[in-house]
Amino acid sequence: MMLGDYSDWGGWEYRDPWVAGLWHNPKRFGVPAWDGVSGGELYVFGEQGLGDEIFFASCLPEVMGRCRVRLETDARLIPVFERLGVECVAGEFVVRDGKRGRVQREPVGDWWIPFGDLPRILRHRTPFPDAPYLTGDPREKERFSGYRGRVGVSWRGAQGEYGWREFSAGIKDPLCLQYDPDWDCDLERPALDLKNDIEGLIGLLCNLERVVTVSTTVAHLSCALGIPTEVILAANGRNSNRLPWKWGRGGKTPWYRTATVYPSLSNRLSACSTR
């Protein structure tokens, strides 16, 4: 996948212990797992974090052309996905041993599938459909129209981070999109709950000229909306042992047409200096 070969998704079911458990016993439910056929109602289990669900949602338009979809997702994303025409139900979460996990539900409909298995079924050969697939609420876009033309920056995520000063260097009047900024960060921050008000965040992003970010939820939202996005990979996050297969080795990614990927911040700064 890092090399652009998506022909074999073998082993993908081991991306998460919960998903692996489903595939070890796929007959646990009263209906079968979906294999890509057309017809009936498909129950899609949400999984992983916000950014992952936004990423997997690129497959929803195609799935909706085959089945009636009911999507279990984070409550913060329900209005976003409902604008796609998807029926949504809020996932339930519990905390066990300090870890947040989903409550397992019985799927409703004719088929079931975990959200992350949609690309396993639908994405084998490039080019992938890469058109923007999310839209913003017009009221939220108007609410944040005062930020039109600005550049948003987000320098820290689970996949890695940079210092905010070095990350925003050379960007004129950057706007902080980091929901947990450093205590001494003096970048302007919008009057918005950047963690929980996803509709507001989307409205804000729709007004920006571009976004410069590490691999995080902001990156996937910005790309899914069709906003020019510079994604800068970082190798020092808590999940840094995972290959950044969604972004590849740099340059362009087949998943998002408006994304430009840099392997590191130094690569981006070098590229900017030669423009």
For 48-79, what is each residue's pLDDT tens digit?
889 999 999 999 999 999 999 999 999 999 99
For the chain, what percent of residues have pLDDT higher than 90?
68
Looking at 90, 122, 154, the residue that finishes a domain is 122
Mean residue pLDDT of the chain comes to 90
Total tally of structural domains belonging to the chain: 2
Report CA-CA distances (Å) from 197 to 79, 138, 193, 201, 235: 11, 15, 5, 6, 28
Residue 24 has pLDDT above 80, yes or no: yes
Which residue in this structure is represented by tokens 């913003």?
A: 136
Token pair for 271: 């590229």
Crossing angle for the helix pair 198-205 and 217-224, nearest 10 degrees?
A: 60
The two beta strands, 151-154 and 111-114, are unpaired
Residues 101 and 196 in one domain: no
- 171 shares a domain with 242: yes
Same domain, 109 and 69: yes
User: Is the residue at 30 inside a domain?
Assistant: yes
Nearest to 179 by CA among 167, 192, 169: 192
128-166 pLDDT, tens digit per residue, is 998 999 999 999 999 999 999 999 999 998 888 899 999
Burial class (CB in 10 A: 0-12, 13-18, 19+), 175: buried
Sequence-separated (6 or more) residues with CB below 8 Å from residue 91 = 46, 72, 73, 74, 75, 102, 103
Phi, psi of 185 (to 5 degrees): -70, 125
In a domain, 131, yes or no: no
Last residue of a domain, one of 97, 122, 147: 122
Structure token digits, residue 177: 């999109």
| CB atoms closer than 10 angstroms to residue 217 | 24
Q: What is the mean pLDDT of residues 199-213?
A: 97
Q: Alpha-carbon distance 269 to 165, whole Å?
A: 13
pLDDT of residue 51: 92
Domain that holds residue 49: 12-122
Q: Report residue 256's pLDDT band, with 50, 70 and 90 as the boundaries.
A: very high
Q: Do 220 and 149 fall within a single domain? A: yes
| pLDDT tens digit sequence for 84-112 | 999 999 988 777 777 777 778 889 999 99
In a domain, 130, yes or no: no
Residue 177: which pLDDT band, with cuts at 50, 70 and 90? very high
pLDDT score of 165 = 92
Same domain as 160, residue 72: no
